[in-house]
Structure 1
Amino acid sequence: MQFDGDLAEIRFGAGLSPAIAPPESAAEMLSRLQGPDEMAQQFPVSRFEDAVTGAATFRRLRRQRRQLDGKPGYEAADKAYREFRRAQNHARYGWHGQRLLRHVRTRDGLRERLVLFWADHFTAQGKSGPTRVLAAPYAESVIRPHVSGRFEDMLIAAATSPLMLMYLDQNLSAGPGSRAAARRKRLSGLNENLAREVLELHTLGVDGPYSQADVRQLAELFTGLTVSREDAFVFHPGMAEPGPETVLGNTYGGGKPQLEQVLSALRDLARHPATAQHIARKLAVHFISDTPDPALVSHVAARFQDSGGDLVQVYAALLEHPAAWEPQLRNVKPPFDYVASACRALALPEARVADLRPGQLNRLLLAPLTPMGQRWEFSGGPDGWPEEDAAWVTPQALAARLRWAMAAPRRLVQPLPDPRGFAAAALGGFANERVMFAARAAETEAEGVGLILASPAFQRR
């Protein structure tokens, strides 16, 4: 099988760029993935541990504002609260710009795609004002360092992340027989959200070999996983349900509640054959097709299980299978991927993004994702964004893509490229005759570039 660099960059990377050559082999893609994370260094995003300190400041300013309502000093407290909230939103816009620039400038597109994939697989988001800006730092600290490691390590990092614990209300869960439940009547009791999502979404899959009893037992085992007043992860033995718990036939605990009991269960779930099958199919659907070749899924699942969840070996299995290289572009790019690959094709200058004021960055690069169907960092639930092409191919979403393609490029890049050269740069060998005709017939550069970006050929991968 001859390696196709254009297809590799479109299907497994960030899209073609006139400034950056596509990879020359799958081995090069895997090698870069295991090398230094150049884009994280060049375009930094706040670590979760640093960003979360803002949540405490947000709560303090909001509390002061409420306490002074109708009293002297309220105007100053209100101003401080509003200014801090505005600064947090501006920081979120800035992080969005940095993450987009990573896609524009990277030579390691597979890494950027995998960060998006795993951040969606382990969806976590802030549900209240203090934590609503933490999705990007969560991906930076919990997901990104583990994309070329072992699946069980990423699972543990996600399941014990303060953002995940707060998102799924695990921080409020206490064992019915725990010391904390006996002392504090205001506790909400046992919460099964995290246990259910770990089994159904993160590991075994919705059709996995578990029962409601397994969910209940795992939820009891998870009691003790909580968050400190500083929004840091802690294990609180006093909230843990005493006694052993049995999950999928394996028994954990029984003595003094310890974090290691929880981690042992997570490792066992990560190594389960059903987890291998679930992750393999998700990867195949995400990168290849809504209906992937069963032989491809089986091949990737076998490598997952044989390697103990070594993710680089799992990706290698995906890239070495012939079904991964079928030339027809099937999957529709989700909105962020679409906008990011368009900016990459336009070779959007770093300086141009730096020059954008926060409101401009939001209007040009972040807010347009919502009418396309993807309210960025706020998916509809813990199952993340849909993979099915039909979710993105709606009249409203396609109209929003067309509006963006026809209006945004000329506001981002001046001068715009000649459409004929742009078609070749953006699509390589996938610039079909219909695309080239539109490029030749366009009356202006803006019209030609917009038609190319709105074409079905560019919107698929």
Structure 2
Amino acid sequence: MANAFHVDAAVAAHRFGLGEATLAAPGSDPQGWLLAQIGPADAPRGDALLTTPQALALLQAEAEKRRQARNPPPGMTAEQLLGGHYREVTIADARSRLLSAATTQRPFAERLHLFWANHFTVSLAKGSVRGLVGAFERDAIRPNIAGSFEQLLVAATTHPAMLRYLDNVLSAGPHSRVVARAARRAQQMQEGPRLTGLNENLAREILELHTLGVNGGYAQADVTSFAAVLTGWRVAALASGSGQPFDPAWHEPGRKTVLGKTYPEGPEALRQVLHDLAHHPSTARFLATKLARHFVADDPPPALVERLAATFTHSEGQLSEVYRELVRHPSAWDPAPVKLKTPEEFVVSSARLLGLPERAFERHDGAGIIALGQRLHAAPSPAGWPDRAEEWLGPEAVWKRVEWSARVADRVGRALDARALASASLGPRLSDTSRRQIERAADGPQALALLLMAPEFQRR
């Protein structure tokens, strides 16, 4: 029965979605199935998930523990006092991310959430955001994936996790009040606040990675001026007793010029700069290219990129309109599966294919994804995880996928009919070669391992 579905059903399930055990979900109207999913991402599944204020409270508690660690209580070492402070939170966040993706009934929306979470990377690779990454995705990304890009950009930029990850909490205007006070204290040989001067990290990454792109037309002077605009935007728990994310004492006074336009002093300038960046032609092209690369091909069709960029511009950055154009564009439905799944996508699609129970995601290593080369919530840089096949196709990486597939198949392969599952999940996308290999397998585990490693399943 599965082969009765058109190949478009398989494209919808695996390229736009996260994989399905049966093509009955997209059915005879794959485009309609995808279009109906456009909207904010679903609330995440999982227990013990922290809101952003709760995560900030955890940070404050950790800071207090560090102070106590200098003189730990009798019978307790500093390591014991600090050990595992974020462990339960990070495990809960990783489990929630996997469980939400593996069980959602709106896989297209969930894939879009994963795309934007990677675009606006906040990574556990930097210790300053421990405990905040999951809250960032839940509060800044999930609710905003289908509104205006400007709304998403503001939410991501001003979230405490981003402000900490890219060091804006340490950025002080050279002529700010807090720097002036520090200078006076230094003259008096008194200890002052720990300042590092103007920090350009957040400004540079917003321009290079989040909006215009590396060739988007900005210069170093724009980075420096934008960094000055961003001064004062700090984590609420660390602001100077104000309880607000903007602390004027750290802000660089005076007007600033970014990309040829002058902005006023004060917190309102950031929203104005982000508005202009969100509506810049370079942003439209940069985002259109990334979306087309993620969903269609490592080197996406130029006509598709142009169409998505034009839709972004004409709709004033309404992401839902861009997604609709993506789904409706003929080049997005080329039946050849060319995009390689990342380790996380591979594990999630396997879980959806096999109907793995929730306990499969209770392991502390993210269901074995670390062994495949990708640690959840821990991209190696602000650029996020790579989205081209060549980055994931080394011999060792492929062998790790073989080993993972064999282990999973050995556990569940005897209880499943991999031959029927291959036909139901991949439908007309399953090649004759892969079908014959699965049919000729010696037993159930070998058949399932062959299905998981089939090119039609490894790629989307």
Q: TM-score, normalising length from structure 1? A: 0.89
Q: What amino acid maps onto 2:419 in structure 1? A: R
Aligned to 2:289: 281
Aligned to 1:311: 319
8 Å CA contact 1:162–1:233 kept in 2: the answer is no
Aligned CA-pair RMSD: 2.4
Aligned to 1:198: 206
Q: Secondary structure at the match of 1:52?
A: helix
Stretch moving more, 277-286 or 415-424: 415-424
8 Å CA contact 1:372–1:396 kept in 2: the answer is no
Aligned to 1:362: 364
Deviation per CA, 1:27-71: give whole Å up to 9, x if none. 332222227x55536788433332332222223233323322xxx
Q: Secondary structure at the match of 1:377?
A: coil
Judging changes above 3 Å, is the alpha-carbon distance between structure 1 residues 216 and 320 closer, same or farther for their aligned structure 2 residues? Answer: same
* Cα distance in 1 between the residues matched to 2:171 and 2:219: 20
Give the superposition deviation at 1:195: 0.8
8 Å CA contact 2:34–2:327 kept in 1: the answer is no
Stretch moving more, 368-377 or 432-441: 368-377
* Cα distance in 1 between the residues matched to 2:350 and 2:436: 19
Q: What amino acid maps onto 1:380 in structure 2? A: P
Give the superposition deviation at 1:130: 6.3
* Cα distance in 2 between the residues matched to 1:199 and 1:213: 12
* Cα distance in 1 between the residues matched to 2:140 and 2:10: 31
Q: What amino acid maps onto 2:123 in structure 1? A: Q
Give the superposition deviation at 1:79: 4.2
Aligned to 2:449: 450
8 Å CA contact 1:3–1:25 kept in 2: the answer is no
Stretch moving more, 18-27 or 420-429: 18-27
Q: What amino acid maps onto 2:364 in structure 1? A: N
Give the superposition deviation at 1:419: 1.6
Aligned residues: 441
Q: What amino acid maps onto 2:379 in structure 1? A: S
8 Å CA contact 2:335–2:429 kept in 1: the answer is no
* Cα distance in 1 between the residues matched to 2:160 and 2:244: 5
8 Å CA contact 1:16–1:22 kept in 2: the answer is no
1:28-427 equivalences under 5 Å are 28-34=33-39, 37-38=41-42, 40=44, 45-68=49-72, 73-75=74-76, 79-82=80-83, 84-85=84-85, 88-126=86-124, 129=127, 131-185=129-183, 186-229=194-237, 234-253=245-264, 257-350=265-358, 352-353=359-360, 358=362, 361-363=363-365, 365-366=366-367, 368-411=368-411, 413=412, 416-427=415-426
Unaligned stretches of 5+ residues in structure 2 = 1-5, 184-193
Aligned to 1:8: 12
* Cα distance in 2 between the residues matched to 1:200 and 1:18: 40
Q: What amino acid maps onto 2:245 in structure 1? A: V
* Cα distance in 2 between the residues matched to 1:46 and 1:456: 39
8 Å CA contact 1:223–1:240 kept in 2: the answer is yes
Q: What amino acid maps onto 2:138 in structure 1? A: E
8 Å CA contact 2:8–2:335 kept in 1: the answer is no
Percent sequence identity over matched residues? 39
Give the superposition deviation at 1:250: 1.2
Give the superposition deviation at 1:370: 2.9
8 Å CA contact 1:331–1:460 kept in 2: the answer is yes
Deviation per CA, 1:77-105: give whole Å up to 9, x if none. 754533x43xx323322332222222222
Aligned to 1:26: 31
**After the TM superposition, which parts of structure 1 deviate over 6 Å for at least 4 consecutive aligned residues?**
none
Deviation per CA, 1:104-163: give whole Å up to 9, x if none. 222211111111110111111245556324322211111111001110011111111111
Q: What amino acid maps onto 2:206 in structure 1? A: V
Judging changes above 3 Å, is the alpha-carbon distance between structure 1 residues 307 and 171 closer, same or farther for their aligned structure 2 residues? Answer: same
8 Å CA contact 2:209–2:383 kept in 1: the answer is yes
8 Å CA contact 1:172–1:191 kept in 2: the answer is yes
Q: Secondary structure at the match of 2:122?
A: coil
8 Å CA contact 2:212–2:283 kept in 1: the answer is yes
Judging changes above 3 Å, is the alpha-carbon distance between structure 1 residues 142 and 195 closer, same or farther for their aligned structure 2 residues? Answer: same
Judging changes above 3 Å, is the alpha-carbon distance between structure 1 residues 43 and 277 closer, same or farther for their aligned structure 2 residues? Answer: farther
* Cα distance in 2 between the residues matched to 1:304 and 1:213: 28
Unaligned stretches of 5+ residues in structure 1 = none
Aligned to 2:436: 437
Q: TM-score, normalising length from structure 2? A: 0.89
Stretch moving more, 261-270 or 19-28: 19-28
Which has the higher relative contact order, 1 or 2, with Cα contacts under 8 A spaced 6 or more apart? Answer: 2
Give the superposition deviation at 1:436: 1.4
* Cα distance in 1 between the residues matched to 2:380 and 2:82: 28
* Cα distance in 1 between the residues matched to 2:441 and 2:128: 48
Q: What amino acid maps onto 1:389 in structure 2? A: A
Q: Secondary structure at the match of 2:147?
A: coil
8 Å CA contact 1:18–1:347 kept in 2: the answer is no
Stretch moving more, 183-192 or 141-150: 183-192
